[in-house]
Structure 1
Amino acid sequence: MSKLGPIRHFPSPVSCDSLVLQGLRCEWGAGVLHLVTSLSHSLILTGHWKFNMAPHDKELSEDLKKRIVALHKDGLGYKKIAKTLKLSCSTVAKTIQRFNWTGSTQNRPHHGRPKKLSARAQHHIQWLSLGSRRMSAASIAAEVEGVGGQPVSAQTIRRTLHQIGLHGCRPRRKPILKMMHKKPRKQFAEDKQTKDIDYWNHVLWSDETKINLFGSDGVKRVWRQPGEKYKDKCVLPGVGSVMVRGCMSAAGTGELQFIDRTMNANLYCDILKQSIIPSLRRLGRRAVFQHDNDPKHTSKTTTALLKKRRVKVMDWPNMSPDLNPSVGHPQTEGGGVQGLEHPPAP
């Protein structure tokens, strides 16, 4: 430090820009420059130093642009002009280059209407939408208007979100799984992943469904006026539906059983005796029966019957209707199974 001499105290405030650092680089060298740079960041954070450059998000006034051009014509360089007007060298250079190319200090006209939202507002919109995925565009617009005071339409919010890759979509539905459900599902997958194709060929899958004789269960709407609730054009005909229980395996479909009254454990045992167990016997001695954990299926009466008939039942995890291949197979308009009135024997 003796060769460099004592470091003088800077006056307050000090202009902290590239010109100061360039001067320090020439006078002191790279080592001391690194020390001063680190010190400057600390002083800036504590408020002892401040920047004197123009904000980057604001356009220079025409008077300031003309002063830059006039000083350049007088022979001043970019650095001296920047130091005199307290601007960055890049701003001065761009202003003079634009004047040399176009002969004017005015910016070229922009294409289309200027953006209504600033970059900060767009970031705030993205933050709100990612923080609450179910927040509507109208709610986001109200939130943005409350923070910035600028009225924004819901369509502007949607357009902004589309530009950053966010689109309004209908959410997928899935069962509500807790840890008590996830562990058995994982254990089920680990136990069954080692089973060969011969094992799965001997599994009899079963399920029940409702068949609509006409129409579907989908929600439909009609336009009507007060007092037209029971007008012929405003009602939907309902012919009825029927509940059935069937089964299937790799060999084909099993016998189909129609349900004409409320299902309980005794009725389910009758269905097992009449159709399910006979279909299971056709798969041989290695047959495995699958049904879900409905209370009627796990009742003492049903468990005793399956044990008495020596039926091997597959352990089935809770909240797993998607694991049954018979769910969602060929359906009618109403969501039931079709073509099983006279099923072939497996």
Structure 2
Amino acid sequence: MAPHGKELSEDLKKRIVALHKDGLGYKKIAKTLKLSCSTVAKTIQRFNWTGSTQNRPRHGRPKKLSARAQRHIQRLSLGNRRMSAASIAAEVEGVGGQPVSAQTIRRTLHQIGLHGCRPRRKPLLKMMHKKARKQFAEDKQTKDMDYWNHVLWSDETKINLFGSDGVKRVWRQPGEEYKDKCVLPTVKHGGGSVMVWGCMSAAGTGELQFIEGTMNANMYCDILKQSMIPSLRRLGRRAVFQHDNDPKHTSKTTTALLKKLRVKVMDWPSMSPDLNPIEHLWGILKRKQEECKVSNIHQLRDVVMEEWKRTPVATCEALVNSMPKRVKAVLENDGGHTKY
């Protein structure tokens, strides 16, 4: 016997009708096809009434929200992207008087292509930052790869002993939240970290230097003389040096030193880490460091230096090759944030 409620195929319905037309009764048809008599009877009666074995259209449960209410929900969510589903439900109920659950709001937003996502963390861009970024992109949009290949990119970053400061996720089953593999170990005072200054170009990684204590303009000038200049010279006379607008980088002491050394410095828009390919190289370095399971600062320094030197030239080259796309993305977003 077929399970209760199971939909019959069109072929099976047509066989029922054909057997009935041949003169067989409900019981014989049911026995032949191993169906219940009621199923056979309903199929034949539906055919006699409608002249077809196909089911009539099913309308289902009517929508709780009207088209007007759905448009109102869409306006609220697009007007305030951080408004929760519960807040939108309360707003809709306050206007229309109709109680709506937060789940209904989520389902409605999903139908129009809106989904709750973790917002990307990006620097705060003011109008002057957007204008500067757009101007930079306009000036550089005609530069070919020969220009970008002669740029020495630089930056500072902090590398933690116990991983990054970002949000971590783990795959786990119910009841596994306290297993060793599913927890993120923490230590008092963060476990320690190191600050590093590094540089790179399309030809590969340059010098990497650890920063002891708080870096000031004088310390930065020492780094430039000891680590930046040797890396810059390897790029030839056409080399251009890039660093951001940190006060130590734009101080009178630093500016005077770079002028004395006759270093060509790229004009750089503030709040633009997405335009600096070395930012992605830091991410690669930190992921490599996390895989090594270091337990103290000395091991951390050794691993960081080793992984930095082992970085393939192809990785640096690929990052620099993305510069035309980065510039184009800034222009397309009118100086705003990009995916990089």
Q: Offset of 1:222 from its aligned partner?
A: 13
Contact 1:125-1:157 at 8 Å conserved across structures: yes
8 A Cα contact 1:205 1:290, kept in partner:
yes
How far 1:104 moved relative to its partner?
Answer: 18
Q: Secondary structure at the match of 2:191?
A: coil
Alpha-carbon spacing, 1:93–1:246, altered in 2? closer, same or farther (3 Å): same
CA deviations on 1:6-55 (whole Å, 9 max, x unpaired) are xxxxxxxxxxxxxxxxxxxxxxxxxxxxxxxxxxxxxxxxxxxxxxx999
Which string of whole-angstrom CA distances, capped at 9 and with x for unpartnered residues, describes residues 231-265 of structure 1?
99999754321111111112111111111110110
Larger RCO: 1 or 2 (CA < 8 Å, sep 6+): 2
Query: For residues 74-99 of structure 1, what are the alpha-carbon distances to aligned partners after superposition, in whole Å with 9 as ceiling and x for unaligned?
Result: 99999999999999999999999999
Structure with bigger helix share is: 2
Cα 1:230–1:263 shift into 2, 3 Å? farther
Query: Could you list the per-position Cα deviations for residues 303-332 of structure 1 after superposition, in whole angstroms to 9, with x for gaps in the alignment?
Result: 11111111111111122121111xxxxxxx
Identity of aligned residues (%): 92
Q: Which runs of 5+ in 1 are unaligned?
A: 1-52, 326-337
Closer, same or farther in 2 for the Cα pair 1:287/1:101, shift >3 Å?
same
2:338 to 332, 339, 343: 343
Q: CA 1:311–1:153 in structure 2 vs 1: closer, same or farther (change >3 Å)?
A: same
How many Å apart are 1:111 and its aligned residue? 4.7
Name the larger-Rg structure.
Answer: 1
Q: Secondary structure at the match of 1:304?
A: helix
Structure 2 Cα separation of the partners of residues 292 and 302 of structure 1 = 12
What TM-score, normalized to structure 1?
Answer: 0.56
Residues 267 and 231 of structure 1: CA distance in aligned 2, closer, same or farther (over 3 Å): farther
- In the TM superposition, what whole-angstrom CA distance separates every residue of 1:83-131 from its partner, at most 9, and x where no partner exists? 9999999999999999998899999895543332233333332332233
CA 1:153–1:302 in 2, change beyond 3 Å: closer, same or farther? same
Q: Unpaired segments of 5 or more residues in structure 2?
A: 278-333
Change (3 A) 1:149 1:88: farther
CA contact (8 A) 1:252 1:344 kept: no
Instruction: Quote the Cα distance in structure 2 between the aligned partners of 1:183 and 1:105.
Output: 67
Deviation, 1:212, is 2.0
Larger deviation: 68-77 or 184-193? 68-77
Q: Which moved more, 1:149-158 or 1:65-74?
A: 65-74
Would the alpha carbon gap of residues 145 and 56 (structure 1) be closer, same or farther in structure 2, given more than 3 Å must change? farther
- Cα 1:269–1:93 shift into 2, 3 Å: farther
How far has the Cα of 1:168 moved from its partner? 2.1
Which range moved further: 151-160 or 189-198? 189-198
Rounded to whole Å, the distance in 2 between the matches of 1:239 and 1:133 is 37
Contact in 1 for aligned 2:274/2:338 (Cα 8 Å) = no
Quote the Cα distance in structure 2 between the aligned partners of 1:102 and 1:342. Answer: 61
| SS of corresponding position for 2:207 | coil
Is this contact kept in 1: 2:244–2:268, CA < 8 A?
Answer: yes
Whole-Å Cα distance in 1 between the matches of residues 135 and 45 of structure 2? 70
Distance change in 2, residues 1:92/1:228 (3 Å): closer
State the Cα deviation string for residues 128-186 of structure 1 (Å, max 9, x = none): 22333222111121122222222211111111222233322233444333332233322
Quick one: distance in 2 between partners of 1:203 and 1:75? 90
Instruction: Show the counterpart of 1:319.
Output: 271
- Report if aligned partners of 1:98, 1:105 keep a CA contact under 8 Å in 2: yes
RMSD between aligned alpha carbons? 12.9
Contact 2:129 2:269 in 1 (8 A): yes
Q: Distance in 1 between matches of 2:196 and 2:99?
A: 58
1:255–1:343: 8 Å Cα contact kept in structure 2?
no
